[in-house]
Amino acid sequence: MEYDYYKILGINQWASDLEVKKAFRIKAKRFHPDKNREENAHAFFQVLNDAYQTLSDPVKRFHYDQKLNGGHQQSSPIPNSREERRAERRKKNEAFSRSVHQQPITWVPPVWVQYFFYLVGTLFGVTVCYFSFYNIVSGIWNPVMLWVTLLGLIVLMDSVGGLIFGQAVLSQRFFHLLKKTFIPRF
């Protein structure tokens, strides 16, 4: 038996991934077999879970939408002219693109990679600060060394903050302040 997953979740066909997730959570809390003691609660929850699995995956959702809209049926009319075929192809591509690009995919590196970069930043900051101070104290300094020292201190503090707290915030605030101060708004 074929079900309309959109009706089961109570959403429309153009709902975002976030709306699909929210609707699933609401329905899952309401119809979970542990909370709902009706005899068909388990079967409905299986269908609900299938609906969420299909609609939360962009590729499965695209294929489901095509099937729902008659994209894979034999009885669908075949476009005759080149323009009709292009329009049909464009329509399918837009539907797939809309389902894939609704939420950006962000990559977060593993914790050990983050800490490796924080450690490298700490070593870099210590090295820059050491040689900058050494050159200033020994008298072979250039005024540019003050800027290099400042940047070395920022990298050092940011990396140590990343090692301790797991998140580097200082450089983000510093560069935001520089951008706000020196880049005029048009």
Residues 31-64: pLDDT tens digits? 888 887 787 878 888 888 899 999 988 888 888 8
Contacts of 16 (CB under 8 A, 6+ apart): 102, 103
pLDDT tens digits, residue range 135-164? 878 888 777 777 777 778 877 877 877 777
C-alpha 83/C-alpha 34 separation (Å) is 54
Q: Which CATH superfamily is domain 5-100 in?
A: DnaJ domain (1.10.287.110)
Q: Where are the domains of the chain?
A: 5-100, 111-182
CA distances, 55 to each of 1, 71, 129, 146, 174 (Å): 18, 17, 53, 56, 42
